[in-house]
Structure 1
Amino acid sequence: MTELTRYERPLLKFITCGSVDDGKSTLIGNILYNSKLLYSDQIESLKTESLNGSCDGELDYSLLLDGLLAEREQGITIDVAYRYFSTKKRSFIVADLPGHEEYTRNMAVGASFADLAIILIDASKGVLIQTKRHARICTLMGIRHFVFAVNKMDLLGFDEKRFNDISSDIARLSEELSLQEYTLIPLSAKSGDNVISRSPNTPWYDGKSLIEYLEDTDTSGDNEETGFYLPVQRVCRPNQFFRGFQGQIESGELHVGDELTVLPTGETARVKQIFSGFNEVELAGRGMPVTVSLDREVDVSRGSVFTRATQDDSITVAREITGTILWTDDEKFNIHKDYLIKLGTSQIYAQVKSIEYTVDVNTGEHIATDELSKNEIAVCRISFIDSVAVSEFNRHRTLGEFILIDRVSNMTAACGIVNAIHDSDGKREYTPQNVRLHLLRQKSGVFNFGGLGSTADQETLGRLAGEVEQKLLQQGRLVYYYRNTGAEVSREVLRSLTESGIIVLTVKASPESAEYVKDLDPALENTGTDSIVKFIAEQTAYEL
């Protein structure tokens, strides 16, 4: 049998994850070292650096992965480390993911690219909360194949009973998460037992070694999707005679002459030309980046999606979804905050309208709440400012996964998948009266701090108004504290500011401007700025 070249071997993308100090980096380092996949200078460097490590002079395989200074100092993984290696049967790309709860965001990013997850479990500690969290996140990211590697079995004398106890815990977790395929392998990442080949120290284990399992597992059917779709990434206009639309075919095939529907507009056109690179082709298939020209001018831009004109309704146009999200922001979730949602190639404004429930990582229990903290998983209702092409994640992955971006800090606040799509009322029409409401994404209002009561003087109330102004600005609100220095703010000024769409804070408003002004409840005076900020945010919230 002729040996496959590195370009002919099937590729498996997998991750290693688990709790802190479970041996993820050590495991991958052991594979690289014992598979003879390192250069001589890497081996010499490993031997030298291991002398100053934490392995009593023995080879510390984790040093091959933990490249950051902070990682080596703390003995943990912080960043995602990607490595390529191959055996005679298969090529691999592996991502070593951090185990610390603080770096769950990094872990989720790495999981989004993988076909298989190796979740390490310290045999002495068993299944931990972080183990369960990582299993849930991997499921959320669409991973269907799992290896639970029970590590450090050498420290327990390769105890079969301990391995069976952990197997029972994993069986319950698998049933709860409806895992499609999983296996357990007892091993020692440090000494290499059951990593490359079967170990004589586990005669009671009749399964494959880790590498043997990775070489033989079949993930080819995981990403198969029905129908055709191509999210448009870019409009190509090199000259006045050519207008093409560029993107990658995510499913199906495209032929010259095919009739396409453009979503979300619903217009149709036929394929005039297909280019793969600089070459014109008659046919293009899944995974190919192409440039497509159409036989007539239609409204197409980044975020549009080409589908087959006669295709089923698995890809629809909608303005509201239910999705499962992993909250990754350091700031707690704010129901009145606007976000950018990136779904497929589209990026538009969105709001999380409600939290249906959060998921207890340990028990899987659904908990009703209106709060969400970092690393929590929740099912939410999300609205878009306009209609977009979207699909359920289990039908079309690219149009069924998304991230929420804080539009002020530009940080990723959450990642998630689409569970259900709700009926759309089509594109939103804007009248002259609500165009500012749409642009600013807030209702205007005048809030008079003088209504808090007489226990505080004007200077104290002014200082309080200034603090509230700063916090509202940090939330992305357009707010202005009108510092009127003792004089009443006239009706005309407040009317103009209100019509401009601004949130106005004042300490002393004129009596005749009552139609524009809302006095703050005296009960809020001693509750602190956060309560006042929350009250104003609720009063001026703009719902998509």
Structure 2
Amino acid sequence: MIIKPFKEASDGEPTPRRGLLRLLTCGSVDDGKSTLIGRLLVDSKSIFQDQLSAAERDSVRYGTNEEEVDLALLLDGLEAEREQGITIDVAYRFFAARNRSFIVADTPGHEQYTRNMATGASTADLAIILVDARKGLLTQTKRHSFICSLLGIRDVVLAVNKMDLVGYSRETFDLIVEAYGKFAQPLEFGSVIAIPISGRFGANVVSPSPLTPWYEGPSLLDHLEHVDVSAEANAQPFRLPVQLVSRPHSDFRGYSGTVATGSVARGDDVVVAKSGRQTVVSKIVTFDGEREEAAAGDSITLVLGDEIDIARGDVLVDPQDRPAVADQFACKLIWMDDDPMLPGRSYLLKCGTQKIPARITTLKHQIDINTLDQRAARTLRLNEIGICNISTSASLVFDPYAHNRRTGSFILIDRSTNATAGAGMILFPLRRATNIHHHDHLIGKTQHATLKQQKPTILWFTGLSGSGKSTIANQLEKILHDFGYHTFLLDGDNIRHGLNRDLGFTDADRVENIRRVGEVAKLMLDAGLIVICCFISPFRAERDSLRELVGPDELVEIFVDTPIEDCIQRDPKGLYAAALAGKIKNFTGVDSPYEPPERPDIHIRKSEDVTEAASRIAAWLLPRIKSA
């Protein structure tokens, strides 16, 4: 652990006022984060009297400090927070001291709200990691420290709180500092300042306390006022993610966005990262008029010297220091969804203004948050952290996170719920496939389809095991064959005897099963065939992603809607009996979920027999696949 000594201004000179500092408090639940920030606000006289009076009144109802004012109530604004005495959401507060202004994010300590802590850390320059002096380092202390490191925070204050409850013991403080130093060494923080404090009574919070004569370092506020974290954003190369193409009239075309890092001036050369096209900045326009230059954080519109193709999601960059442009990369990933991460599933990846489909191709390992050791894993669950490889459907513009926090971070969005599923930090691009290119065929899908005189289509049957999918599909293929159409039937059981024999029935394996089958079905579609696919395919996300793999009208989803009670009664292969007896695990409908289609193209209900269902599908399909 690196401890940087506190430096007073030399020769009695006044310390120059520093810029805004963004900081967060984190650590385990009940370590006193909200109370500490409340104490900072009160003792630095950054709170209005009416706010303090309100906290005094609320302390009677919600307080946990007997007759004293519960300073945590200045931060905990939600009713549930006040009733339970915990922080749930991220509370942001602004306050100013003599030499600096601050925006502090008070983040929750409960494990289930770790995603909120990561949100607060994503914009912070410094972290105050609290430890209860009675409890020492806890799992959540380590998890929050690791997330701070992942998110690029380099300056840390280890605030050993509640020293009043251990008699301001130097021995207790030293043991905690030593343990944290050993744990944090691999995290590569730039500096860690350890301060013994009592947030409740204000010891070493705003001014040094006589209760800790053995401690010779700064108070917390002294350190926050003097720490230097200013260098990063403006020292980075120029990056402008284009948010909007501004075209108010025919004589003006500009490219609007917020400068992520670096600076730009009129007359500078810039490059469109993806296309490599270079041009010059002819104007910098802002809400207040034209400017000669702009820096990180400025919202601007650039007018360029050349007419080139630029759209939302493109990134304008410094031609002498360009970012990576790749469709595969390695990353550290924090999982934030209640549903586990599944390699192979399609998510939306958002990086700046870029938003494109992406898949986690490999989970290389999970990181044990207590030891920082690597361990094998097939998936990530809520709050777990892993090293992954990700593949995107198109090239992504990025910098490694270690070089640029603002262009090296991303989120993954669940395509069904639109919720944030994970947050990632890019490590480096993967270039192992750059020598592979698409080979153009002289005979393509159109020529194959013309020869067969049919419109290539994928018919995707989904439903529970025993619903009758395969039986109906067989009958349908017979009808189409009799009409002279060229078909091929892919059945789930048959595929698992060959192509997918290495896959089990975990959620991750089911996702990979459908991904592979989708790719095979697409190849057969390119051959001009009518491809009939019979797969339980239990997850809606994978079925939806199949539509993106092919054309918008080339996949027909057919839901064979047989209730599970009927499937259990039929049980043609004895699988339900075995699953209900516990002999088969992860069986769809028993101990693994099935997500029925919301808007299938064809809905087959249990009232229809096999012949009737196949005939109805054929009647719907034949006019659509007949060659023009």
After superposition, the C-alpha distances for 1:438-494 in whole angstroms (9 at most, x for unaligned) are xxxx9865579559999xxxxxxxxxxxxx9794336663799xxxxxxxxxxxxxx
Aligned to 1:240: 250
After superposition, the C-alpha distances for 1:152-189 in whole angstroms (9 at most, x for unaligned) are 11111111111111011111122121221101111110
1:46 aligns with 2:55: yes
8 Å Cα contact 1:225-1:396 kept in structure 2:
no
Aligned pair in 2 of structure 1 residues 471, 236: CA closer, same or farther (>3 Å)?
A: same
1:84-483 to 2 correspondences below 5 Å: 84-309=94-319, 311-313=320-322, 315-423=323-431, 425=434, 445-446=460-461, 449=465, 471-473=538-540, 477=544
Give how far 1:258 is off: 2.6
Aligned pair in 2 of structure 1 residues 453, 15: CA closer, same or farther (>3 Å)?
A: closer
Aligned pair in 2 of structure 1 residues 478, 152: CA closer, same or farther (>3 Å)?
A: closer
* Structure 2 alignment gaps of length 5 or more: 1-11, 447-456, 471-534, 563-570, 596-628
Aligned pair in 2 of structure 1 residues 521, 108: CA closer, same or farther (>3 Å)?
A: farther
Is 53-62 or 71-80 further displaced after alignment? 53-62
SS of the equivalent of 2:372 reads coil
Larger C-alpha radius of gyration, 1 or 2?
2
Give how far 1:386 is off: 0.5
TM-score by length of 2: 0.71
Q: Distance in 2 between matches of 1:184 and 1:107?
A: 21
8 Å Cα contact 1:479-1:503 kept in structure 2:
no
Aligned to 1:484: none
SS of the equivalent of 1:223 reads helix
Aligned pair in 2 of structure 1 residues 80, 429: CA closer, same or farther (>3 Å)?
A: farther
Q: 500, 503, 522: which one pairs with 2:554?
A: 500
1:26 aligns with 2:80: no
Is 66-75 or 242-251 further displaced after alignment? 242-251
AA partner of residue 312 (structure 2): R
* Structure 1 alignment gaps of length 5 or more: 435-441, 455-467, 481-496, 509-519, 538-544
Give how far 1:142 is off: 1.1
Q: Distance in 1 between matches of 2:246 and 2:108?
A: 40
Q: Distance in 2 between matches of 1:443 and 1:139?
A: 47
State, as a whole percentage, how many aligned pairs show the same letter. 40
8 Å Cα contact 2:234-2:296 kept in structure 1:
no
Give how far 1:344 is off: 1.8
Aligned to 1:65: 75
Q: Distance in 2 between matches of 1:274 and 1:284?
A: 8
Aligned pair in 2 of structure 1 residues 327, 269: CA closer, same or farther (>3 Å)?
A: same
Give how far 1:145 is off: 0.6
Aligned pair in 2 of structure 1 residues 433, 366: CA closer, same or farther (>3 Å)?
A: farther
Aligned to 1:487: none
1:56 aligns with 2:66: yes
Aligned-pair Cα RMSD in Å: 3.4
8 Å Cα contact 2:133-2:162 kept in structure 1:
yes
Give how far 1:218 is off: 0.7
AA partner of residue 240 (structure 2): L
After superposition, the C-alpha distances for 1:317-375 in whole angstroms (9 at most, x for unaligned) are 11011000100000011223211100121011101111000100001110111121100
Give how far 1:204 is off: 1.0
1:16 aligns with 2:70: no
SS of the equivalent of 1:238 reads coil
8 Å Cα contact 1:479-1:505 kept in structure 2:
no
After superposition, the C-alpha distances for 1:485-522 in whole angstroms (9 at most, x for unaligned) are xxxxxxxxxxxx999334556599xxxxxxxxxxx995
8 Å Cα contact 2:260-2:407 kept in structure 1:
no
